[in-house]
Amino acid sequence: MSHIDAAFHSSCENEVYLFMKNEYVLVNYAPGTTNDKVLYGPLLIGAGYPSLKGTAFADPGIDCAFGSHHKDQAFIFSGNLCAQINYAPHSSNDKIIKGPMTITEMFPFFKGTVFESGVDAAFESTKKYEAYLFKGNQYALINYDYDSHLISIRLIKQGFPSLANTIFESGFDAAFASHKTDEAYLFKGPYYARINFAPGTTDDYIIGGIKKILAYWPSLHNILPV
């Protein structure tokens, strides 16, 4: 069993893909409740996403991802590689749109930064075509549209003051944007937090504190380690 390594939210309401090494589950995460349920999985990534079979994204697996404002699309990462995919929810019609390629081929502005060798976690902003990417105690805010560009790189504790002096200040394993406006879920080992990330400000805050995943996500009891 592995903790959550990557995640991205689906275009289908309240659904999220959670990745653990070379496996994944699709979950209705029922935001703000404990009524979550696994819709399908765990499945091998290569079985659920035929377009990824034989790539690093199937094995060793996806270690970071974020959804796109382009419908049914996501960016996925494995080590220093990334790809843009159409994940074709509830079907096996997924396809790779761009890649696999190195992170710096996809996002040239990351050359010479900590992000060129890999990304730990990411989630898309509610600001169109913007996303937050995390590596160690730093994060980058980027625009990923056709004229993609770097907006800023900062320390997590500077851009997200609510995470200062918490386990998330030094980084985290996975994240995804909630279907609720300006909210995101952060994961680190057996813990998670739901935050309002207050785009364009430093008025972010943690909603309800830092919690054990399995205490609030009962559907994952037989999938994640204690």
Measured CA to CA, the distance from residue 84 to residue 106 in angstroms comes to: 9
Answer whether residue 5 shows pLDDT above 80: yes
pLDDT of residue 35: 86
Digit-coded pLDDT (tens) for 72-113: 999 999 999 999 999 999 999 999 999 999 999 999 999 999
The DSSP line for the chain is -----EEEE-SSTTEEEEEETTEEEEEE--TTSS--EEEEEEEEHHHH-GGGTTSTTTTT---EEEE-SSTTEEEEEETTEEEEEE--TTSS--EEEEEEEEHHHH-GGGTTSGGGG--SEEEE-SSTTEEEEEETTEEEEEE-STT-EEEEEEEHHHH-GGGTTSTTTT--SEEEE-SSTTEEEEEETTEEEEEE--TTSS--EEEEEEEEHHHH-GGGTTTS--
Side-by-side strand order, sheet with 73-78: 64-67, 73-78, 81-86, 95-102
pLDDT of residue 1: 65
The pTM of this model reads 0.96
pLDDT of residue 34: 82
The confidence band for 32, taking pLDDT boundaries of 50, 70 and 90, is: confident
Digit-coded pLDDT (tens) for 48-71: 999 999 999 999 999 999 999 999
Digit-coded pLDDT (tens) for 112-130: 999 999 999 999 999 999 9
Digit-coded pLDDT (tens) for 134-176: 999 999 999 999 889 999 999 999 999 999 999 999 999 999 9
How open is the CA angle 28-29-35, to the nearest 5 degrees?
Answer: 95
Residues 6+ apart with CB under 8 A from 124: 66, 67, 68, 69, 130, 131, 132, 177
